[in-house]
A and B are shown apart, each in its own frame.
Chain A
Amino acid sequence: MTQPPVVAIKDLHVGFRSDKGDVPIVTGVDLDLPAGKIVCLVGESGCGKSVTAKAVLRVLDPAGRITGGQVLLDRADGGSVDIAALPMNSRTLRSIRGGDIAMIHQEPMSFLSPLYTIGNQIVEALLLHRRMGKAEAREAGIDMLHQVGMPEPEIRFDRYTFELSGGQRQRAMIAMALICQPRLLIADEPTTALDVTTQATILALIKRLQAERDMAVLFITHDLGVVREVADEVAVMYLGKIVEQGPVEQVLDAPKHPYTQGLLASMPRLDADFKAPLEAIAGAVPPPSRRPKGCGFHPRCRRALAGLCDMSPPPRIADTGRMVLCHAYGPEAGRFPAAAETRRRLEIVAHAAPKQPAPLLSIRELKKHFPIRKGFFDRIVGHVRAVDGVSFDIMAGETLGLVGESGCGKSTLGQTLVGLHRADAGSVRFAGGNGPVDVLAARGAEAKALRTDIRMVFQDPTGSLNPRLRVRDIIGEVLDIEGRLSRHEISERVETLLDQVGLSRAYADRYPHAFSGGQRQRIAIARALASEPKLVIADEAVSALDVSVQSQIITLLQSLQKNLGLTYLFVSHDLGVVANISDRVAVMYAGRIVEIGETEAIFRRPAHPYTEALLAAIPGRGQRARPAVMDGNVAPQGCPFAPRCPYAIAACRQDRPELQAAPGGQSVACIRAEELHLQTPVAAA
């Protein structure tokens, strides 16, 4: 007899009270969470996956309520409890939270209390659910920290949250969740805020702990790569319903629902043809108060049939562990034209950047250090070497991707180039309209011209637009300050720009709060283009967007580059996006460029151990040839990567390596580049 699932969600409905009445967020979710399996719940922002997870533990926001359905928990002693029916403050519910079901979150900094040591918080969960003495609990806590891979657990046990790194905080949160041996672990985007390499270690940790304890895991994410890496089963959510569900290989390799197909096609992937243009899902996720009639996905669906998909809700077609919610597989399947295969363009679209003899931007030995001040008098005790001697060229008309993990200095580099920071040393030469300009020393008219020639697109679409100005004023601000054009001409230029970025001209009179994230980013791009720049620095411009919106913006950037002859410096931590959009890639670590060259060379024939580690850490590639990189510090002398490098020799810690030619055609800063044979998960073309 098969064991009942640890938690069975049946026909769950969750709504939010608002001044417009009850807004349904989750409309009929059925999900089984069996022991020993990792079930991934995938969807974009607004689909209701976090709300579902919170509803299981009854920790919804105050405005949210479960309006229907059951959440059946199979307790260890054999009984079954409907969590949805329990009163809010019941004892049973409190004993379930932390005891039977535990949850970990995306942001450990806000989840862990800054007032107590992590040891204190881990042990609190233990003391609440078990009878134990303090000393015994402390030992159990340290043991738990050791199991989750925290270095030096006895010392870290008495540390505060802010004294730990991002990965360590996440481990502390996992320890807190698992200390009472829960039967179900709900992980709500636990690795989204982490670096690729840290993410790889945390994912491996969760998999290992799950296997050891035969736990059920509900893993919520928007990253299909992570799904492929950890999941046994995957459920895809859209607008509060599960539209496809099944074993992970089946769903990801042969997706049935058009939304799943669209998601997979719009994700930048590091396969043989990573330069293939991304396909975007048309339209955007509607707000929950404006759900379409019939099938929720039909306005954006390639296969939608008028008269059917917009009238009646789609049937649930279930078949040996696989489920899809779509008319095209139901009783009306015959009316649909034959399904097109998930289109994958096999020919590599060669983006031939015209090779200019002289580079557009030449950077030599650029340095930017931030002083560390300590003590009552703010004495300078050291420097954070954010940018530590960077030299490279950006050619006109190309897209140079700048990739690296958080803290490597890529954002600081971009901001120094555009003028937000003042560089401490080095030189930057820009091939402006009137001859070469020294960017760092420019004053007056030259500085003014630079401001219009080099523009920036910021990461956060919400924070980068002034909420008090209309779109027209935001986009036209640079022209208004320049003073060259009249009011009327600026207005016309704004309308042209809105056309170019794919927004309606009527939007010029609106305020930013009326737009979605993707639309706001388009406005930000229009602002950057307003002054007809030559170089646009995109500082993580797509990182804060959903996957389907990301692909729209990437396509937009590429077409703008072709039409307007722009040059991009594309700063990002997402290797897939960088591979897709860039002609050349520069890999940055600890303020230095460690490898730079054509995208093909970097991804297919990496020459630096750090590039290899980055590529190996990408989830879902199935590549575990090298063990994941350990935590380490940056060495003050010699190669900055030496403490973490599996190939380091004594000489690496002595001299700082400079960029030199590598066999694959790129430049690499590694003294062992000639002799190392590094691996890459990207298949050969």
Chain B
Amino acid sequence: MTTLEQGTDLPRGHDGHWALVWRKFTRHRLGVAGGIVVLLAYLVALIPEFLAPVTLEAYNPSYAYAPPQTLHWGVESENGWQFRPHVLAYEMVVDYNSGRRLFTPDPEGIIDVGLFVHGEPYRLIGLIPTDIHLFGPVEVGQPVFVVGADRLGRDILSRTIYGARISMTIGLVGVALSLVLGILIGGISGLFGGIIDNLIQRLIEFVQSVPSIPLWIGLAAAIPMSVPPLQVYFLITIILSILGWTSLARVVRGRFLAMRNEDFVKAARLDGAGPVRIVFRHMLPSFLSHIIATVSLAIPGMILAETALSYLGIGLRTPIVSWGVLLQEAQNVRTIASAPWLLLPGAAVAISVLALNFLGDGLRDAADPYSD
């Protein structure tokens, strides 16, 4: 009888692949930080009605281009300092020499603000009717502009929060389409090799060599004006994924080719596994984590592409509001000089793109946990 080997019990033997990946991911601090911010961003995209002080269309013409109102915590009165969070209303005066509006806070115009106030009614996640807002004026309808107002007197903060819903999700839909196309085409290319691989790779090179922005502009301009905005949304995502699938296809093909020569795939063939079983049971799980990493790095590209198209005016249009559409307001240098708070959506884009990049970095490092 053969000698029973004293196993040098290496720890973590029972951990599956995902446990190892998670453990390696949590060691990448930037990735974890990015992940938290991304989670928060999607939370905002999920419940914007609750988080925004006012609705999307609420406007107040006398507050056009109003600067941000400072939040005061208390009031001095005869009884001393009282805790009473409020903002001060503005008095607006037009300076006819420079053509600018001057806003001065009115110490008498106290607008109380609070948490969990009542506001415009809405349906939370489309289901639960309620009218509680996280933050806003205690008295409905009072002007509260934490980050300022745009040219129609609409609250920038609220609109940016609502914009997250479109901007963060357009990335998802576009990437999902790219994913399906990329895996399918890249998989066929890598699995069969030979002339099919050759043709597909040349096609990919052709698609990649087309300059992307002019192509998008051309395709977006082809959408007729009469198409309802929501359909424009979907058409835009399709357009974005037409160019987006190529890099994923390349990655998938490369992994398939590399894995075809692995001994364990040969062993699976010898065990009698057919091509379908080999692909789904033996090959695909091995590079699923890589695909996840690639996908999380592809989303920011989609967000930026949509923002760019909308900013140029050929993507989404009002009433659909995304960060790109909001940034259209900021196209005028003079406007920016006198109302820089209009750029808040740009900051939102930057933060979410950075967070997604960090998350993708962390995932990519964690995708191969065996290199420890």
Contact of A464 with B by CB under 8 A: yes
Closest to A282 in B: B3
CB pair A516 B17 closer than 8 Å = no
Number of interface residues of A (CB under 8 A): 54
CB pair A287 B8 closer than 8 Å = yes
* Interface pick from A118-126, A207-215, A465-473: A465-473
Q: How far is the CB of B229 from chain A (nearest CB, A)?
A: 44
CB pair A463 B2 closer than 8 Å = no
Tell me the residues in window 235-290 of chain B with beta carbons closer than 8 Å to chain A beta carbons: 262-264, 266-273, 277, 282, 285-286
Closest to B277 in A: A481
Contact of A290 with B by CB under 8 A: yes
- Give A509 to B14 CA distance when docked, in angstroms: 7
Contact of A510 with B by CB under 8 A: yes
Contact of B370 with A by CB under 8 A: yes
Q: How far is the CB of A119 from chain B (nearest CB, A)?
A: 33
CB pair B7 A477 closer than 8 Å = no
Known interface pairs A286-B8, A504-B4. Does A456 touch B262 (Cβ–Cβ under 8 Å)? no
Contact of B1 with A by CB under 8 A: yes
Q: B8 contacts which chain A residues (CB < 8 A)?
A: 283-287, 290, 516
Interface string of A310-335 (1 = CB under 8 A from B): 00000000000000000000000000
Interface string of A419-458 (1 = CB under 8 A from B): 1100000000000000000000000000010011001101
Q: A419 contacts which chain B residues (CB < 8 A)?
A: 269-270
Interface string of A280-299 (1 = CB under 8 A from B): 10111111001000000001
Number of interface residues of B (CB under 8 A): 35
Q: A452 contacts which chain B residues (CB < 8 A)?
A: 272
Contact of B97 with A by CB under 8 A: no
Closest to B266 in A: A420
Q: B263 contacts which chain A residues (CB < 8 A)?
A: 458-460, 463-464
With beta carbons under 8 angstroms apart, the residue of A284, A481, A507, A522 that contacts B272 is: A481
Q: Which of B9, B267, B286 has the most CB of A within 10 A?
A: B267
Contact of A502 with B by CB under 8 A: yes
Q: B3 contacts which chain A residues (CB < 8 A)?
A: 280, 282, 502, 552, 555
Q: B17 contacts which chain A residues (CB < 8 A)?
A: 467-468, 511
Interface string of B1-36 (1 = CB under 8 A from A): 111111111111111110010000001000000000
Q: How far is the CB of A461 from chain B (nearest CB, A)?
A: 9
CB pair B5 A284 closer than 8 Å = yes
Q: How far is the CB of B258 from chain A (nearest CB, A)?
A: 11
Known interface pairs A451-B271, A463-B263. Does A552 touch B16 (Cβ–Cβ under 8 Å)? no
- Give A54 to B353 CA distance when docked, in angstroms: 43
Q: A675 contacts which chain B residues (CB < 8 A)?
A: none
- Give A419 to B270 CA distance when docked, in angstroms: 7
- Give A286 to B9 CA distance when docked, in angstroms: 9
Q: How far is the CB of B299 from chain A (nearest CB, A)?
A: 26
CB pair A455 B270 closer than 8 Å = yes
Contact of A559 with B by CB under 8 A: yes
- Give A285 to B8 CA distance when docked, in angstroms: 8
Closest to B5 in A: A502
How many A-B residue pairs have C-beta atoms within 8 angstroms? Tell me.
119
Closest to B195 in A: A378
At the interface, is chain B mostly helix, strand, loop or mixed? loop
Q: How far is the CB of B87 from chain A (nearest CB, A)?
A: 49
With beta carbons under 8 angstroms apart, the residue of B2, B11, B277 that contacts A556 is: B2
Q: B370 contacts which chain A residues (CB < 8 A)?
A: 467, 513
- Give A56 to B188 CA distance when docked, in angstroms: 51
- Give A519 to B3 CA distance when docked, in angstroms: 12
Q: How far is the CB of B180 from chain A (nearest CB, A)?
A: 22
- Give A478 to B263 CA distance when docked, in angstroms: 15
Q: How far is the CB of A494 from chain B (nearest CB, A)?
A: 14
- Give A451 to B272 CA distance when docked, in angstroms: 7
CB pair A458 B13 closer than 8 Å = no
Q: A518 contacts which chain B residues (CB < 8 A)?
A: 5
Tell me the residues in window 511-535 of chain A with beta carbons closer than 8 Å to chain B beta carbons: 511, 513-516, 518-519, 522, 527
- Give A202 to B133 CA distance when docked, in angstroms: 80
Interface string of B72-114 (1 = CB under 8 A from A): 0000000000000000000000000000000000000000000
Tell me the residues in window 196-239 of chain B with beta carbons closer than 8 Å to chain A beta carbons: none
CB pair B10 A514 closer than 8 Å = yes
Known interface pairs A451-B271, A451-B272, A468-B285. Does A463 touch B7 (Cβ–Cβ under 8 Å)? no
List 11 A–B pairs whose Cβ atoms lie within 8 Å, in order of A's numbering. A283-B5, A283-B6, A420-B270, A459-B263, A464-B263, A466-B286, A478-B272, A515-B13, A516-B10, A518-B5, A559-B2
Residues of A within 8 A of B (CB): 19, 280, 282-287, 290, 299, 418-420, 448, 451-452, 455-456, 458-460, 463-469, 477-478, 481-482, 500-504, 507, 509-511, 513-516, 518-519, 522, 527, 552, 555-556, 559-560
Beyond contacts A419-B269, A456-B270, A555-B2: 15 other A-B pairs, Cβ-Cβ < 8 A, are A282-B3, A282-B6, A284-B6, A420-B266, A459-B263, A464-B263, A469-B282, A477-B268, A477-B271, A504-B4, A511-B16, A514-B13, A515-B10, A515-B13, A555-B3
